[in-house]
């Protein structure tokens, strides 16, 4: 398998982060209207999760923190330097850890699953893996932003 160029990794990171912004924004908009995200496969898991005491921190929907994280990850994809690589990795690591914690709450405390939350957790996991690959593969380089020819 050929290792992807940093430019390609940055493109994929930007795309996945944009998807994450969309998912987290949908959850936030549904909550701000006093409702819950609509479960596409049916069931009431999304409503149960949205109405739980765990869905807000200091009165702020946890999806808002997701939006902020995804925006930072999107922004980091526009730069090919060590600060952006490490920053993207750090934010993705924090987002991944928070997603694991929220998934634990869904499974063992709330006892309901929100498909949108799972989707966000999957996207954050992918971003963690991509940003880790980017950091390990290109840390300390300055010409990694130049796309491969041919």
Asked if the structure places residue 58 within a domain, the reply is yes
- Determine the structural domain holding residue 22 and report its residue range: 6-138
Asked if the structure places residue 149 within a domain, the reply is no
Asked if the structure places residue 145 within a domain, the reply is no
What pLDDT score was predicted for residue 58?
95
Q: What is the pLDDT of residues 41-99, one digit of tens each?
A: 777 899 999 999 999 999 999 999 999 999 999 999 999 999 999 999 999 999 999 99
Asked if the structure places residue 19 within a domain, the reply is yes
Please tell me the pTM assigned to this model: 0.91
Asked if the structure places residue 69 within a domain, the reply is yes
Q: Find the helix or strand (DSSP H, E) in which 61 lies.
A: strand 60-61
Asked if the structure places residue 20 within a domain, the reply is yes
Report the CATH number at residue 50. 1.20.1440.130
| Section 28-32 average pLDDT | 91
What pLDDT score was predicted for residue 87?
98
Asked if the structure places residue 147 within a domain, the reply is no
Asked if the structure places residue 31 within a domain, the reply is yes
Please state at what angle helix 6-32 crosses helix 115-138, rounded to 10 degrees.
Answer: 150
Domain count, the chain: 1
């Amino acid at each position: 398998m050929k290792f992807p160029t940093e430019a390609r990794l940055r493109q994929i990171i930007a795309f996945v982060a944009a998807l994450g912004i969309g998912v987290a924004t949908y959850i936030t908009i549904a909550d701000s209207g006093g409702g819950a995200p609509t479960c596409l496969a049916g069931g009431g898991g999304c409503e149960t999760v949205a109405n739980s005491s765990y869905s807000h921190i200091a009165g702020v929907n946890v999806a808002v923190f997701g939006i902020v994280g995804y925006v930072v990850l999107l922004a980091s994809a526009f730069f090919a330097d060590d600060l952006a690589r490490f920053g993207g990795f750090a934010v993705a690591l924090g987002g991944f850890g928070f997603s694991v914690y929220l998934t634990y709450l869904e499974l063992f405390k709330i006892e309901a699953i929100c498909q949108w939350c799972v989707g966000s957790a999957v996207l954050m996991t992918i971003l963690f893996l991509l940003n880790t690959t980017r950091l390990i593969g290109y840390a300390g380089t300055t010409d990694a932003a130049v796309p491969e020819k041919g």
